[in-house]
Structure formats: structure tokens, C-alpha cells
């Protein structure tokens, strides 16, 4: 039965995505491609992890660029190869969610939870396109599974595994930089013997730092500043006087007008290099400092506006409708129809049942899920919110919803048994 469940789950994860891949084909490598793809192209051909040969960059997290590099080494990252690899990651995510669910609910319900997760309409479409969040999903599920295992039996080895997974997740998404501390605190709280869990929990934090440290040191040596990413410009785009109105009229933070007199970005330098045009000198660290100062000044001088932007970001993060920006492809087409109707049909029941599940699920898992989702919400309030930032963690909502469904089913069965004995 277990093998049959896994085969069914793998098929349910792969087949819809393969249909989307067959439909989209080379569109996935042409439209709205993440900037990591340009870095992977340069890295594969010149050995420089950057937008321009001999100019190393820290302008984005490295993980997705490293993931794409082999496809550039083997050729011009053919759409079929990239798509199949990302479909495989979706299958891995589904299997990991199933493993988590088995710790929480009976096997049949665990299968149902994994199926509902992998058949999330947004993810079925998103997972074959070139967005770095495809890596966030298996890492998020792996992180939760490792955290549950560590809390159940705290050992330094299990702490190291949790830390390693979390560290890799940070290299894919810098917004997770403080997550090791959040998870470590939960581990100590959730463990049966809290004193015994302290050292393994600390080991997880140390291991996460050890995974991230080489990248930070590399940036200090080759780029000039010890950081995970120098793209403070994105943070500024999400925190200035133009942000709220730009997002309110359907734009994204990329559409926020540039800072007057802003220096050219490393990504622009890469575009110029690909066009064979002169490339300006770029000081990424100075740019990062400039934009950070602008953000802090905005927070100090316009706290009310920042609060308004934060509320808008949280609303966008948790909207049951998938985010639709004005510059999207095929506006008003089938994809927009799915964003407007199919996604809410999936999300609204999950949201409602997950709220009940937060009270009905096993308390340790419920607290972990709330902590992780709360962390994502706080980060959105600081930075920006959109569906693609939330959906890698939506499996937590499904697991909470499943716990609520199990409890409801048990109550119904109990009432039926009582009715038949009268």
C-alpha cells in the first residue's frame, strides 16, 4: 500500500506539470526568466559567477544560478531539460510533504494532504517556469521534516542536518536569514527533554551559519562586502513613496521608478555585455549601502506610509487570488482565468480549514506551522508580498487543514457510533 501511495503521488505531481511543460515548451526559457539564468550563462562560459566576465557578483542569492549552470554547460539550457528537472523537484517536494504528513495523520489522510499540496493550481503552472522559488519548496519541506525529527530525538547529528538544509535554503532565499534561530527556539520548546535539546538546537544554528559562511566570505573577498546579497535596491523598491501606488494599480516593485541619479545595476551591465556594448564600472557594495540608507531614512521619516505599504504587502501575500501584475503575459487569457477562479477555489477552503487546524492539530506542529507562516508574513511586511513568496510554504496550510479534517471526520464517526448504540 505504501509503494502504491508513493507511485500515485509521484504521478499526480508529474503528469499535470508535464502537460503544462508540453504546452509552454520554450516559452519557459524566454519569458520572465529569473536573473540567475544570466549569471549561470556567464558562469558556465567564463568561470565568473557574475553578469559580466571577470566581475563577480553577489547581486542575487546563488542557489538557483548554480542549479541552472549545468544546463548551460551541457548546451543552451534547453527548455525540456530545465522543465524536466523542475518537474522532478516538484515530485520530491510532494514526497517530502507525504513524509511529514505521515508523522501527523493516518496514512490515507497523509496521501490526501500530499495530493492536495502538489495539485495546487498555482504550483502546477509555476513549477515548470524559471523562478527560483522552485528550490524554496523542497527545501521548506525538508526543513520542516528535519525540524520534526530533531524535536522527536534531539542529537547533534540531526541538528547538523537541520542546519545544513536551512543554510542551503538561505542561499536560495536571503529572506530566510533569521529562520535558523526561529526553528531552533521551536525545537527546544517542542522537545520532551528541553535541556537535552539545547545543544542540538544550537548545532542547527551553527551548521546553517557554516553552510552560508563560504558564500559570505567569497563576497567579502571577490565583491568587497560580507553579505548574502548586494541587491538592496529591491528592498528600496519595496520601501519608498512610490511603492504603494505602483502596487495598487497592478504593477510590481520592478515598476517602481528608479531613484533619481541611481547608478547602473549589475544586471544592466550584464545586458550591455550580452549586446556587445561598453559596460560601466559597477560598485555593488556602494550601491547596497546607498539603498539601505534610503530605506532606513524612509522608515524614519515616513512611518505611516511604511505601515500602509506593510499592510498592502501582507494583503498581497495572503490574497486567495494569485497575484496579477499589469505586465504579465497574455492578460485576460487562460492563465489569468485560473489566477482569478481556480486558485481561490483551492486557497479559500485551505485557509479556513487551516485556521481550525491551528487549534486542532498536534500542538508542536501547529506552533511550528504558525511560526514559519508568521515569519513569512513579517518578512513580507518588511519587504514585499506576493503569491509566489507564500506558495512554497502552503503545504503547511494543507497539513493544518488535514488535521482539522481528520478531527471533524473522527467526530462524525463517533456521533454515528453513538447513534447506532441507542
**What pTM was computed for the model?**
0.93
Confidence of residue 36 (pLDDT cuts 50, 70, 90): very high
Instruction: Identify the DSSP state of 255.
Output: G
Q: How confident is the model over 228-248, as pLDDT tens digits?
A: 999 999 999 999 999 999 999
Confidence of residue 43 (pLDDT cuts 50, 70, 90): very high
Helices (H), 155-226: 156-172, 179-190, 194-218
**What value does the mean pLDDT of the chain take?**
91
Confidence of residue 337 (pLDDT cuts 50, 70, 90): low
Assess whether pLDDT exceeds 90 at residue 34: no
pLDDT score at 322? 77
User: Domain-by-domain residue ranges, the chain?
Assistant: 2-421
Grid coordinates in use for 381? 511586511
Name every residue whose Cβ is closer than 8 Å to that of residue 79 and which is 6 or more positions away in sequence.
Answer: 21, 24, 25, 26, 27, 28, 29
Name every residue whose Cβ is closer than 8 Å to that of residue 119 and which is 6 or more positions away in sequence.
Answer: 12, 16, 346
243, HSE (Cβ side, Cα atoms, 13 Å):
28
Q: How many CB atoms lie within 10 A of CB 81?
A: 15
Q: How confident is the model over 158-175, as pLDDT tens digits?
A: 999 999 999 999 999 999
pLDDT score at 1? 60
pLDDT score at 294? 95
Confidence of residue 40 (pLDDT cuts 50, 70, 90): very high
- Please, what's the b/e burial string for 116-138 (b: 16 or more CB within 10 A of its CB; e: otherwise)? bbbebbbbbbbbbbbbbbbbbbb
pLDDT score at 339? 66
Q: For residues 71 and 411, give the distance between their C-alpha atoms in angstroms, rounded to a whole number.
A: 52
pLDDT score at 255? 92
334-342 long-range contacts, Cβ below 8 Å, gap at least 24? 335/125, 338/121, 338/125, 339/122, 342/121
Name every residue whose Cβ is closer than 8 Å to that of residue 403 and which is 6 or more positions away in sequence.
Answer: 104, 105, 357, 360, 361, 362, 365, 366
Q: How confident is the model over 236-279, as pLDDT tens digits?
A: 999 999 999 999 998 999 999 998 888 899 999 888 998 888 88
pLDDT score at 414? 79
Lowest mean pLDDT among 179-193, 280-294, 323-337, 373-387: 323-337
Assess whether pLDDT exceeds 90 at residue 184: yes
Instruction: Identify the DSSP state of 58.
Output: -
Confidence of residue 75 (pLDDT cuts 50, 70, 90): confident
Q: What average pLDDT does the segment 137-157 reach?
A: 96
Q: For residues 158 and 41, give the distance between their C-alpha atoms in angstroms, rounded to a whole number.
A: 36
Higher pLDDT, 416 or 171: 171
pLDDT score at 325? 52
Percentage of residues of the chain with pLDDT beyond 90 = 76
pLDDT score at 413? 82
pLDDT score at 2? 82
Q: How many CB atoms lie within 10 A of CB 411?
A: 10
Name every residue whose Cβ is closer than 8 Å to that of residue 195 and which is 6 or more positions away in sequence.
Answer: none
Give 214: exposed, middle or buried? Use CB within 10 Å, 0-12, 13-18, 19+.
exposed
Compute the 3-state secondary structure of the chain and give helix, strand, coil in percent, each to the nearest 5: 75, 0, 25
Instruction: Identify the DSSP state of 52.
Output: B
Confidence of residue 58 (pLDDT cuts 50, 70, 90): very high
26: helix, strand or coil: helix
Amino acid at each position: 500500500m505504501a509503494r502504491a501511495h508513493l507511485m500515485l503521488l509521484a504521478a499526480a505531481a508529474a503528469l499535470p506539470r508535464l502537460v503544462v511543460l508540453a504546452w509552454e515548451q520554450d516559452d519557459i526559457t524566454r519569458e520572465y526568466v529569473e536573473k540567475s539564468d544570466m549569471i549561470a550563462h556567464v558562469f558556465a562560459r567564463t568561470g565568473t559567477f557574475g553578469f559580466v566576465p571577470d566581475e563577480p557578483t553577489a547581486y542575487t542569492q546563488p542557489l538557483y544560478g548554480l542549479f541552472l549552470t549545468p544546463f548551460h554547460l551541457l548546451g543552451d539550457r534547453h527548455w525540456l531539460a530545465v522543465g524536466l528537472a523542475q518537474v522532478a523537484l516538484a515530485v520530491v517536494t510532494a514526497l517530502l510533504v507525504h513524509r511529514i504528513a505521515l508523522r501527523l495523520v493516518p496514512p490515507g489522510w497523509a496521501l490526501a494532504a500530499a495530493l492536495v499540496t502538489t495539485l495546487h493550481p498555482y504550483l502546477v503552472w509555476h513549477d515548470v517556469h524559471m523562478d527560483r522559488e522552485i528550490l524554496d519548496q523542497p527545501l521548506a519541506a525538508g526543513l520542516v521534516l528535519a525540524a520534526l525529527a530533531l524535536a522527536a530525538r534531539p542529537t547533534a547529528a540531526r541538528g547538523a542536518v537541520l542546519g545544513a538544509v536551512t543554510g542551503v535554503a538561505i542561499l536560495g532565499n536571503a529572506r530566510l536569514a533569521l529562520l535558523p534561530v526561529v526553528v531552533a527556539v521551536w525545537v527546544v520548546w517542542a522537545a520532551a527533554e528541553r535541556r537535552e535539546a539545547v545543544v542540538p538546537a544550537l548545532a542547527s544554528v551553527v551548521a546553517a551559519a557554516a553552510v552560508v559562511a563560504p558564500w559570505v566570505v567569497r563576497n567579502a573577498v571577490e565583491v568587497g562586502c560580507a553579505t548574502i546579497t548586494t541587491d538592496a535596491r529591491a528592498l528600496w523598491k519595496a520601501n519608498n513613496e512610490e511603492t504603494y501606488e505602483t502596487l495598487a494599480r497592478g504593477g510590481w516593485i520592478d515598476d517602481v521608478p528608479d531613484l533619481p541619479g541611481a547608478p547602473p545595476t549589475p544586471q544592466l551591465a550584464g545586458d550591455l555585455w550580452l549586446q556587445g556594448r561598453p559596460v560601466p564600472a559597477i560598485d555593488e557594495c556602494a550601491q547596497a549601502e546607498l539603498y539601505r540608507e534610503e530605506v532606513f531614512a524612509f522608515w524614519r521619516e515616513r512611518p505611516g506610509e511604511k505601515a500602509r505599504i506593510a499592510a498592502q504587502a501582507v494583503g498581497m501575500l495572503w490574497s486567495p487570488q494569485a497575484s496579477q501584475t499589469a505586465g504579465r503575459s497574455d492578460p485576460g487569457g487562460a492563465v489569468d482565468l485560473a489566477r482569478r477562479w481556480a486558485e481561490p477555489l483551492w486557497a479559500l477552503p485551505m485557509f479556513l480549514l487551516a485556521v481550525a487546524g491551528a487549534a486542532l492539530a498536534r500542538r508542536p506542529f501547529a506552533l511550528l506551522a504558525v511560526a514559519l507562516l508568521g515569519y513569512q508574513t513579517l518578512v513580507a511586511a518588511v519587504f514585499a508580498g506576493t503569491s509566489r513568496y507564500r506558495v512554497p510554504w502552503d503545504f503547511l496550510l494543507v497539513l493544518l487543514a488535514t488535521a482539522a479534517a481528520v478531527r471533524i471526520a473522527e467526530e462524525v464517526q463517533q456521533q454515528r457510533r453513538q447513534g447506532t448504540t441507542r
